[in-house]
Amino acid sequence: MTDDTPGEGHNGEGAIAGDEVRLLVERYERLEEEKKGILDDMKDVRAEAKGRGYNPKMILFLVKERAKDREKRAIERAEQETYLAAIGLL
């Protein structure tokens, strides 16, 4: 007879491998910390851009635009111009 008590490292049906779950949780926590560090670094870049007289929102816009392929950007730009013209902003 086996002991399928959760959290004791067993992999029986319905049991939880405690060590494995703990390692997954710890790994996720480390990634959350890394993400926080990266987000802080990104915030610093935006602050630096602002300090140099640039618009941080435009920096983010340019980052997003660079991630798109040329064709997608062209399609979106044409659509934007159509909508802007329709409401008299062009």
Place of tokens 């618009």: 55
Return the sign of the alpha-carbon dihedral for residues 47, 49, 54, 57.
Answer: negative
Helix (H, G, I), strand (E, B) or coil at 40: helix
pTM of the model: 0.66
pLDDT digits (tens, 9 = 90+) for 41-87: 999 999 999 999 999 999 999 999 999 999 999 999 999 999 999 99
Each residue of 12-42: pLDDT tens digit? 666 889 999 999 999 999 999 999 999 999 9
Tell me what pLDDT residue 12 has.
60
Residue 63: both structure tokens together: 């980052």
pLDDT band at 2 (very low <50, low <70, confident <90, very high): very low
